[in-house]
Structure 1
Amino acid sequence: MEYLISFLETYGYAAMFIAMVLENANIPIPSEIVLGFSGYLIAQGVFEMNMTMIVATAAGVVGSILSYWMGEHGGRPLLKRYGKYIFFNEHKFEMAEKMFNKYGGAAVFFGRLLPGIRTFISFPAGIARYPMGRFVIWTLLGTIPWTILLVWLGVKLGEHWQDLIEYNHEFLVIMIAVFAVIALFFGIRYYRNKKKKVATTSSEKQDTQND
């Protein structure tokens, strides 16, 4: 961890971009450290908030595309052959694979919010050759909230930013709860709009028949 922090302090945004690309390409670099410490640097006036968000989000998408490409062109044989060099976790990959096979593109979005799975969810998408355009959109939508949360917590925690590492599961529960509420809100809104549209269409048909 000390080497990673020193790397970020020395090379700034470039180091953050490289670290996040590698993390999203299945290299075991904890995003809690990279983004949490970046938030701390924002609090210290070293990093700037908007630039940090842009660089981290772009790196997340680039790294995910690399993981997708490895899945598309190498598949499981690639992981079995070289996985030991990146401390490959078979259990987490299987979880990501089952999640993608069951939920498709939506799994790319929600998988991005789950520690452990988030770095592997792109690989099965590549194996399945899920449409690249949709993959990038889902990845971007899932990367933004994760990035905002960890950077913001790093800013708020300040010198105690390392608590992100110790309590990352608690933060995960909070994130899931928040997105569950958001999903429920938009689900109810969508259902009401659809119901209203159906009612309007039925009313127009009835008026046409009466005429």
Structure 2
Amino acid sequence: MDLLERLITIFAENGYVAVFLALLLCGAGIPIPEDITLVAGGVIAGLGYANVHTMAAVTMVGVLVGDAGMFLLGHHYGVHMLQWKPIALLMPPRRYAKMQEKFQRYGNRLMFFARFLPGMRTAVYITAGATHRVTFVRFLMLDGLAALISVPFWVYLGYFGANRREWLSMWIRRGQSSLWVLGGVIVLSMLALWWYRRGRKSHS
């Protein structure tokens, strides 16, 4: 929790801008956990340094801008990015090849579920852009849908746990599995709705 406390201090002193910039760094692959960053943003709102709803909006934009930046870099520079030292450390050629294989196998689902896979997001988003198999609009829709699940979850968790750090620590540990369940429920609900509408159209 030391990192969380340090981020809380920085964000409390510098407000929304610091949270936004930290999320851009997360999107760029800097080893700052995105979930801890979002929780810290929620905590400072719970402590009265920010409005929690504004914080949720700011963090949503920060997450999407960071992700979109990696996608667009991959789309524009492609495999040439693998020669850049920071990218080469993050995603060596062998890992890039594995990501391409996963895209062939899982397609759009990989972009959605990458949001819930810490350590894989940046590599997935760069590869999504570099493959040129996904339009930017489709990427933004899938990533945005996943972010609508994860971002408010972490921000409001921090908000409600701002003065209950032991409770907050427990739920941070449980949070990733909780998000998987929530994401699965939403996906299944959307599929059920799609099948229902399809069935109604076929009988009309």
Q: Normalising by the residue count of structure 2, what TM-score does the alignment of the two structures yield?
A: 0.82
Query: How far apart are 1:117 and its partner, in Å?
Result: 1.8
Sort the Cα spacing of 1:196 and 1:73 in 2 relative to 1 into closer, same or farther, 3 A. closer
Aligned residues: 197
Sort the Cα spacing of 1:56 and 1:7 in 2 relative to 1 into closer, same or farther, 3 A. same
Q: Distance in 2 between matches of 1:49 and 1:3?
A: 19
Alignment RMSD, CA only? 2.7
Aligned with residue 141 of structure 1, among 130, 138, 145: 145
Match of 1:41 in 2: 44
Structure 1 residue 60 and structure 2 residue 66: aligned? no
Moved more, 98-107 or 54-63: 98-107
Sort the Cα spacing of 1:114 and 1:63 in 2 relative to 1 into closer, same or farther, 3 A. same
Q: Distance in 2 between matches of 1:95 and 1:165?
A: 32
Q: Are 1:24 and 1:67, in contact at CA under 8 Å, matched by a contact in 2?
A: yes
Q: Normalising by the residue count of structure 1, what TM-score does the alignment of the two structures yield?
A: 0.79
Moved more, 93-102 or 57-66: 93-102
Percent of residue pairs identical: 24
Q: Are 1:92 and 1:116, in contact at CA under 8 Å, matched by a contact in 2?
A: no
Q: Distance in 1 between matches of 2:162 and 2:8?
A: 15
Q: Distance in 2 between matches of 1:9 and 1:190?
A: 44
Sort the Cα spacing of 1:133 and 1:182 in 2 relative to 1 into closer, same or farther, 3 A. closer
Structure of higher CA gyration radius: 1
Task: Mark the runs of 5 or more structure 2 residues left unpaired by the alignment.
Answer: none
Residue aligned with 2:90, SS:
coil
Moved more, 188-197 or 63-72: 188-197
Match of 2:28 in 1: 25
Sort the Cα spacing of 1:3 and 1:96 in 2 relative to 1 into closer, same or farther, 3 A. farther
Q: Distance in 1 between matches of 2:65 and 2:87?
A: 23
